[in-house]
Structure formats: structure tokens, C-alpha cells
Amino acid sequence: MIRMILVLMLMAAPVWAVQPDEVLDDPVLEERAREMSKDLRCLVCRNESIDESNAELARELRILVRERLVAGDTNEQAMNYIVDRYGEYVLLRPQTGGSNLVLWLAGPAMLFLALLTAVFYLRGRAKAPRTAEKKLSEDEQARLKEILDE
Amino acid sequence: MITELGHFALILAALTALVQGIVPLIGAHKRWPGWMAVAEPAAGMQFLLTMFSFLALTYAFVVSDFSVRLVTLNSHSAKPMIYKISGVWGNHEGSMLLWVLILTIFGATLAWFGGNLPPTLRARALSVQAWVAVAFFAFILFTSNPFLRISAPPFDGDDLNPLLQDVGLALHPPFLYLGYVGLSMAFSFAVAALIEGRVDAAWARWVRPWTLAAWIFLTIGIALGSWWAYYELGWGGFWFWDPVENASFMPWLLAAALLHSSVVVEKREALKSWTILLAILAFGFSLIGTFIVRSGVITSVHAFANDPERGVFILAILLVFMGGALMLFAARASAMEAKGVFSMVSRESVLVLNNILLAVACFVVFVGTIWPLVSEIFFTRKLSVGPPFFNMAFTPFMVLLGIVLPVGAMLPWKRANLARVAKPLLPAFVLALALAGLVWAMQTGRSLLGPVGLFLGAWLVFGAITDLTSRTGRGAFGQRFQRLRRLPRADWGKAVAHAGFGVTIFGIAGLTAWEMEDIRVAYKGEPYTVGAFEFTLQDVRAVQGPNYMSTMADVTVHRNGKFVALVHPEKRVYPVSSMPTTEAAIDYRFLRDVYVVVGDPQSDGGFTMRTYIKPLTNWIWFGCAMMSFGGFLSLSDRRFRVAAGARKAPSAGVPAE
């Protein structure tokens, strides 16, 4: 019960996200920081990016991102810096390496398979003998007449 | 007393469902008319009992009976009446009761209006439906009983989560459940047909209205939820790729695929086994959705009830029904040979492509949703899959679908000539391209997303119009207009729904590409500019609501010195649950929304303000409304009514084979 209340309180917290005092003076750097924040997870929230979240930890992460960018990091360097400290869990855009290949390739592979199957099926349909289209049975004819007459 | 009666009614309903699950099934197998006929009164009875049970619970909420545990946990005497009523399903137990109530409504509707079905098919479908009901009655009674009492009732309740105190809660879950549960009808029909060993055009015609209805409700439910999130959560997102959203989106995608494939079964007697499989899977994804929402295995913002025991129960239901249905499918599917013959370029082939795109898109969403779980269990990698993944992996399928759709919608059955179809579509294509080009030229240095989305949207809308007008043949304008009016409603429905898809894409592209955001500390009386608009914080005052305290701001919006609107963003605190919420102020307009949120006061007397200009936002939901309206048009088409009214009880005992 207490756990549920805690959960509800977490999800009910108003979404404040980026505060005015965090915003960088350099609009280009700020834009990059915003882009990066959208790919970073707020670790204490339930499925929110740090860009959307108002949790204290999200705020710290946003400030950290900006510090790294101001220090001259590229987006990639700053991202690696954060992943080194908080783990892969922080990334909302999962990495492409290792077992995650399955995740990224699942869609394209499935599409390829489906298209292949479909082509075989359709070729079969195109060649199927026309006699397969049977005439209606007597029962069905009677029923059809019934429907049409109404 | 009434609460206990509700509890008993629920138990009785469960027992009725048990009888309905067994007797008609045996009756259909042995061709005993009397046993088959049990299904009808049983389905009606089940519905009435469940309805009584649901009303009993509603009564407990309305009179604020705090001796009922569920009411204490989720209600408060000062809560406005509408939220007392919608609060019935604003919690796990009550929402399950609503779920099963809707299930029994569908069963009863089939019993009362399914008179034209072959008796064995109807008996079997109703009995499968009853088995689903038995599973969920058991789930409610054994793990989530809403009627439990507490020995020492408190003076007042804990109140409903303030985020849920909104008309959104009154509408969003019922529609969503009508959709989820409506797919159980397609499932029951599919399993009944597998038992029967017969799938034909008539079967497809019986199933299609149910699927269509379920899809319409799902569309409305998802759109309502998205709109609710948009105005309630305070930063104006409309879709978050949250696991629970995905849970409702996957059945939607499959239902859309099922709608289209059952057309092929109905008109051409092909794709039979695939359609059956889709019907099974669509409901399977509904169950998976229920599992995701109720078990808490996947982290989501929709924290409903994270109870492992319930999760295991639903997983068992899922495994039994999917396992059973798929095994039956494996055993019987080969018996369903296709009849229709068609070439590679034909309406049939394009509908196959539609099914591939929708089903693979659903698969992508599914993999993305469960990947964190799979990865943690099998690869010990704890990771997240968020919106950036879904946007990248899912969007291409919708783009492809949008490109192909207008051409596919106009291809004739059996054998088609692409060039002949492409010719009338050329103006639509050029017009859409020109529009996108114009926009691309006007915007400088922004992403391609806007123009591409705009092209797709316009292409779909113009394509739908071309589809309609091309069916009126040649002749004077007046004649063609007459013919247009006389087109079957199904044709109109198709065009409206396809155009709605375009409008939604249009809105999404517009919002994502051209949104403007501004975050600042605003001071009273000092105007600031965002885009073409000028905002002034006039005043901030305290307002007392029925069960909350509010800090309300008055913000005026001007454009080129002309007054546009006075909006009131709020920050509310609900003292009972001590939760703060933000109420964004939105000035809805045809071409754009102005979205203002007020935040914390600053030490220097200013207030944090977030201001957004959101272009074309309403088009997203307007498009969804068009899609569901198109569905309704199609549902009201004459051929469904004819089929429904035909064959008034010709000696009920004769089996239809």
C-alpha cells in the first residue's frame, strides 16, 4: 500500500522539466543540451526523459549535461561520460551493439521475411487453377436468393 | 447490504458463465438444439447479473460508503459527483469489473442480435466468449475483489488521484475497454470457426462488424487518452511510447489489419487462415495489454496496481487462451484452402501489403516494449527503450503505408493495371507535392519532417477524394454529384477513414516540426514574445476549488497588438492526497494551440512560465475522429443490416451445413 502511494506520488508530481535558471546563454549549446536530454532517462521516474521530469535527480543530470557541453565535449563524449557513471539504463535510445542488434534488426528482418512469404503466397494465388472458384451449392443459392429478395 | 448483493451477483454471473461455457459447446458438438439454446439466456443472464454487480459498486461510490475498502481507498465525500462515478473505474478492481461488464455486454448482444448465424457457430462463439468471461470473473473474485469491507470504517476516504479527477477518466477507459473487449468477439468467432472447421465469406461478414466496432472504440479511446495527456500532464506531449500506451496501440494496429484482411475473406475467399490468426492475435495483444497494465513487470507512468500475484494470474489466462487457440489453429488451419485467384497487382495483393506493414509495425512496438525485460533476463543488460527508438523504428512503416494507401485503395480486385489507376491520382500527387514544396521553401534550416509529413497527409486526403470522385464515372457535374450521394456508405466510410489517417499524420508532422517553446521567469505586467504572440502575466491569485486549492494566473495573449485570448493556467494542490497538479491553459484554434503553464513563484516576485505555440495539434485528434466516423459510416452500410435482418428463424434445429 505504502509502495503504491509512493508510486502515485511520483507519477503525480507536476512536470516542471527545464527551469529557467538552467538554460544556457549560448542558444546553440542549449539546443544541443535539449536534444541530449530527450534521449536520457530520469532514473527515479517512471519512464520519463530528464527533459520532461521535475525530479531533483533529473535536474542534476540536466545541469551535468550542460556542464559537459560548456566544457567543450561533443554530444557523444558527454553521452559517454553520463553512461559511464549511470549505466546503460539511462539511455532512452538503446545502443546498437551486442544483444541489442536483435532489437534494432527485429523490424527490418521481420518485414523482409513477411514480404518474402507474401511474394510466394501471391505467386501461388496467381497460378492457382481457376476451377478452384467453386460455384455456390444449392443451399447457398437459396440463401443468397433469400437475402436479395428482402 | 447492496454491496453484498453485488458480490453475490458477481459470483452467480461467474457460475452462469461456467454453464454457458460448457453446455452449448457440447450441444454444438452433439447437435442437440436444446443444449445449444442454453447459450442465449445464459449470456443475457450473465450480463444482467454483472450489470447489477457493477451498479452496486457504483452505488457504494455514490453514497460514499467508506466501509467498502475500495471506496475508502479511492474516494472522498467532498469529491464532485461525476468523479465519484468515474472513480468506480479509476482503480484496478473497479476497472476490471467494468472490463468484464463490457465483455458480458458483447456476449449478450451476440445472443440477442445474432439470430442469423448458423446455430452451431453461434453456440460455439458464445461458449468461447463465456470461457473468457469465466477466466476474468475468477480473476476478479480471487485476486481483485472490489466488494471487500473493512471492519473499522474511517470517517472519510483517501480521495482519488487528482490527475484522474478529470472528464478524461470518465470517457477514456470505457471506450478503451469497449475496444479491447470487442476484440474478444473476433477471437470467439475465430475459435468457433476453427472448431467448426469452416471459414467462408459469410463468416467474414459476421465477424467484420464486431471487429469494426472494436476498432472504432479503440480509436476513440486512444485518441481521448492522448488528448487527456496533452492537456493534463503539463507539457503538451500527445504520445509518449509508454508501455501502457503501446499496450493499447498494438491491438489497434492488429485490429486495423484484421479489418482489411477480413475484406479479402469476405469478397474473395482468400487469406482465410491469416485472418483467423490475426483475430486470435489481436485479442491476444489485448490480454498482453491487460497483463502489462496490471502486473507492473514493465515500468510505466500508468502505475495501476503492481501486484505480482495478479500478474501471474493474467499471464496464466493469456497462456491458456493463446496457447489453446494457437494449437487449435495449428491443427485446423490447413483445412481452410483459399479460393480466390488474383494476380500480383490487385486489390488483394495491396491488402496483403497493408497487413504486412501493420503487423510488422505492431511487432516492432511489441519488441520495443518487452525488450527491457528480455534484455535483463537473458543478457543481464538493464536498459531502457524510449521514444527515440520507437520514433525511428516505427515511423517508416507508417510512412510506407501512407505512400501506398491511396493507390491501393483504388486498385480493382483480381487483376489491376497500375498505370490506369495512377492516372486519376496524378493531380492529387502533384498537389500534395506542390504543397510540401511550398512549405519546404518557406521554412529555412528546419528538418524535413514537416514537409514530408505534410506531403503524406495531403496525399492521403486528396487520394481519398479522388477515390470517391472516380467512382462517379463521367458526365455532367450535377449527375456525378447525384451518384456521389448514392455511393454505398461503406465507400464513404473508407474514404473518410483514410483521409482521417492523413489528417492525423498532418497534425503530428506539424506539431513535431514547428512547435515553439519558451521557458522563462515572467513578471507581472512585463510582456514577452514567443513566435508571433505576445504574452503578459496580468495577475496571480489564490482560488478555492471544491476539493483543492489553486494558484491561478491570468495571462493575456496578443498578436500584432490585437487581443487573442485571456487564459488561466493553474497550479492545484489537493489537500487530502497532498498532491500538486498543473492545469495548463490552452487556447484551442484551428491552426495552432497556445499552451501556457504557470510554475513556482521566484524570490524576486516573478513566476516560472512555460509557453508553447503548437501548430496543427487539433488535427491529430480530428483525424482520429474522422477515422472512427468513417468506421461508423461503414458499420451502418446496408449490407450489414441486410445480413442482420435476414433469415428469421427457419426451424432453429437444423444445422447450417
- Same domain assignment for residues B94 and B60: yes
pLDDT score of B649 more than 50: no
Q: Which pLDDT value is given to residue B394?
A: 94
Q: Which pLDDT value is given to residue B650?
A: 39
A52, A88, A133: residue with CB nearest B382: A88
- Same domain assignment for residues B130 and B183: no
| % of chain B with per-residue pLDDT over 90 | 45
Q: Tell me, rounded to whole angstroms, the distance of Cα B598 from its chain centroid.
A: 32
Q: Which pLDDT value is given to residue B299?
A: 62
- Same domain assignment for residues B504 and B565: no
DSSP, collapsed to helix, strand or coil, labels residue B575 as: coil
pLDDT score of B134 more than 60: yes
B632: number of Cβ within 10 Å? 15
The pLDDT confidence band at residue B481, using thresholds 50, 70 and 90, is confident
- Same domain assignment for residues B508 and B520: no
List CB contacts (< 8 A) between B387 and chain A: 38, 49, 92
CB contact under 8 A, A114 and B360: yes
pLDDT score of B514 more than 90: no
The pLDDT confidence band at residue A1, using thresholds 50, 70 and 90, is very low
CB contact under 8 A, B242 and A47: yes
Which of A1-10, A36-45, B68-77, B179-188 reaches the highest mean pLDDT?
B179-188
Q: Which pLDDT value is given to residue A12?
A: 39
Q: Which pLDDT value is given to residue A150?
A: 59
Which of A49-58, B278-287, B418-427 reaches the highest mean pLDDT?
B278-287
What is the mean predicted confidence (pLDDT) over A124-131?
Answer: 71
Q: Which pLDDT value is given to residue B205?
A: 86
Residue B414 Rama label (left phi>0; alpha psi -120 to 50; beta): left
- Same domain assignment for residues B496 and B525: no
CA distance B177 to A98: 39
Summarize pLDDT for B542-578 with one digit per residue, the tens: 888 888 888 899 999 999 889 999 999 998 888 877 7
B39 belongs to a structural domain: yes
Here the cell at position B379 is 543478457
| CATH top class, domain A2-90 | mainly alpha
| Pick from B518, B519, B535, B517: nearest CA to B527 | B535
Q: Which residue has the higher pLDDT, B26 or A127?
A: B26
Q: Which pLDDT value is given to residue B115?
A: 76
pLDDT score of B189 more than 80: yes
Q: Which pLDDT value is given to residue B206?
A: 87
pLDDT score of A9 more than 60: no
- Same domain assignment for residues B148 and B226: no
Q: Which residue has the higher pLDDT, B387 or B474?
A: B387
Residues 6+ positions from B314 with CB-CB distance below 8 Å:
B139, B287, B290, B291, B294, B295
DSSP, collapsed to helix, strand or coil, labels residue B464 as: helix
What is the mean predicted confidence (pLDDT) over B620-648?
Answer: 78
pLDDT score of B645 more than 50: no
The pLDDT confidence band at residue B242, using thresholds 50, 70 and 90, is confident
The pLDDT confidence band at residue B138, using thresholds 50, 70 and 90, is very high
pLDDT score of B159 more than 90: no
- The answer to whether residues A107 and B363 touch, using CB atoms and an 8 Å cutoff, is yes
Give the best residue of A44, A48, A122, A130 to mutate against chain B (max B CB count within 10 A): A122
Q: DSSP class of residue A21?
A: G
CB contact under 8 A, A107 and B642: no
List CB contacts (< 8 A) between B521 and chain A: 20
User: How far apart are the CA of B572 and the nearest CA of chain A, in angstroms?
Assistant: 10
pLDDT score of A8 more than 50: no
B225 belongs to a structural domain: yes
- Same domain assignment for residues B170 and B262: yes
Rounded to the nearest integer, the mean pLDDT of chain B is 87
pLDDT score of B516 more than 90: no
B142 belongs to a structural domain: yes
Summarize pLDDT for B416-439 with one digit per residue, the tens: 788 888 888 888 899 998 888 888
Give the best residue of B275, B344, B400, B519 to mutate against chain A (max A CB count within 10 A): B519
Q: Which residue has the higher pLDDT, A17 or B44?
A: B44
List CB contacts (< 8 A) between A114 and chain B: 356, 359-360
**Chain B residue with minimum CA distance to A88:** B383
- Same domain assignment for residues B452 and B364: no
B654 belongs to a structural domain: no
DSSP, collapsed to helix, strand or coil, labels residue B336 as: coil
Question: In the listed set B407, B426, B447, which residue is the last one of a domain according to the structure?
Answer: B407
Give the best residue of B230, B240, B360, B610 to mutate against chain A (max A CB count within 10 A): B360
What is the mean predicted confidence (pLDDT) over B619-633?
Answer: 95
List CB contacts (< 8 A) between B382 and chain A: 87-89
CA distance B84 to B62: 6
Q: Which pLDDT value is given to residue B580?
A: 77
Summarize pLDDT for B27-43 with one digit per residue, the tens: 999 899 889 889 999 99
Q: Which pLDDT value is given to residue B298?
A: 66
Residues 6+ positions from A87 with CB-CB distance below 8 Å:
B382
- Write out the H or E segment, with its range, that includes residue B553: strand B549-559
Q: Which residue has the higher pLDDT, A71 or B235?
A: A71
A4, A90, A94: residue with CB nearest B385: A94
What is the 3 state secondary structure string of B358-370?
A: HHHHHHHHHHHHH
Give the best residue of A5, A111, A143 to mutate against chain B (max B CB count within 10 A): A111
CB contact under 8 A, A46 and B300: yes
Q: Which pLDDT value is given to residue B301?
A: 56
Stretch 68-87 of chain A: residues touching chain B, C-beta under 8 Å: 87
List CB contacts (< 8 A) between A89 and chain B: 382-384
List CB contacts (< 8 A) between A37 and chain B: none
Inform me whether the C-beta atom of residue A90 falls under 8 Å from chain B C-beta atoms. Answer: yes
Q: Which pLDDT value is given to residue B492?
A: 92
Task: Tell me phi and psi for residue B58, to 5 degrees.
Answer: -60, -40
User: How far apart are the CA of B426 and the nearest CA of chain A, in angstroms?
Assistant: 27
pLDDT score of B656 more than 70: no
Inform me whether the C-beta atom of residue A114 falls under 8 Å from chain B C-beta atoms. Answer: yes
User: How far apart are the CA of A76 and the nearest CA of chain B, in angstroms?
Assistant: 16
B452 belongs to a structural domain: yes
CB contact under 8 A, A128 and B338: yes
Residue B473 Rama label (left phi>0; alpha psi -120 to 50; beta): left
A10, A87, A104: residue with CB nearest B382: A87
- The answer to whether residues B31 and B130 touch, using CB atoms and an 8 Å cutoff, is no
Q: Which pLDDT value is given to residue B652?
A: 39
List CB contacts (< 8 A) between A107 and chain B: 360-361, 363-364, 367, 393-394, 397
Distances (CA, A) of B465 to A1, B284, B328, B398, B498: 55, 36, 43, 20, 10
CB contact under 8 A, B385 and A7: no
**pTM for this predicted structure:** 0.89
User: How far apart are the CA of A72 and the nearest CA of chain B, in angstroms?
Assistant: 24
CB contact under 8 A, B343 and A47: no
B447 belongs to a structural domain: yes
List CB contacts (< 8 A) between B235 and chain A: 15, 17, 52
Q: DSSP class of residue B603?
A: T
Question: In the listed set B162, B190, B215, which residue is the last one of a domain according to the structure?
Answer: B162
pLDDT score of A15 more than 70: no
DSSP, collapsed to helix, strand or coil, labels residue B597 as: strand
**Chain B residue with minimum CA distance to A104:** B393
CB contact under 8 A, A12 and B387: no
CB contact under 8 A, A17 and B339: no
**Chain B residue with minimum CA distance to A11:** B301
Task: Tell me phi and psi for residue A77, to 5 degrees.
Answer: -60, -45
Angle of helix B449-470 versus helix B489-514 axis, rounded to 10? 170
Amino acid at B177: Y
Rounded to the nearest integer, the mean pLDDT of chain A is 79
DSSP, collapsed to helix, strand or coil, labels residue B64 as: coil
Distances (CA, A) of B603 to A15, B297, B553: 21, 43, 17
Distances (CA, A) of B243 to A87, B294, B390: 21, 12, 11
CB contact under 8 A, A94 and B384: yes
List CB contacts (< 8 A) between A87 and chain B: 382
| Pick from B557, B536, B548: nearest CA to B613 | B557
Residues 6+ positions from A76 with CB-CB distance below 8 Å:
none
Residues 6+ positions from A31 with CB-CB distance below 8 Å:
none
DSSP, collapsed to helix, strand or coil, labels residue B572 as: strand
Q: Where are the domains of chain A?
A: 2-90, 100-149
CB contact under 8 A, B305 and A4: yes
Which of A121-130, B232-241, B285-294, B612-621 reaches the highest mean pLDDT?
B612-621
CB contact under 8 A, B348 and A125: yes
Tell me how far apart the 2 most distant CA atoms of chain A are, in Å.
84
Distances (CA, A) of B431 to B425, B438, B440: 10, 11, 14
Q: CB pairs below 8 Å between A and B: how many?
A: 179
Question: In the listed set B454, B480, B513, which residue is the last one of a domain according to the structure?
Answer: B513
- Same domain assignment for residues B399 and B427: no
Q: Which pLDDT value is given to residue A44?
A: 77
Pairing of strands B607-615, B533-544: unpaired
CB contact under 8 A, B234 and A15: yes
Q: Which pLDDT value is given to residue A134?
A: 56
List CB contacts (< 8 A) between B361 and chain A: 107
The pLDDT confidence band at residue A17, using thresholds 50, 70 and 90, is low
List CB contacts (< 8 A) between A100 and chain B: 371, 375, 381, 383
Stretch 10-69 of chain A: residues touching chain B, C-beta under 8 Å: 10-20, 23, 38-39, 41, 45-49, 52
- The answer to whether residues B131 and B88 touch, using CB atoms and an 8 Å cutoff, is no
pLDDT score of B486 more than 60: yes
Q: Which pLDDT value is given to residue B47?
A: 96
What is the mean predicted confidence (pLDDT) over B126-144?
Answer: 94
CB contact under 8 A, B385 and A4: no
Residue range(s) defining the domain that contains residue B157: 1-162
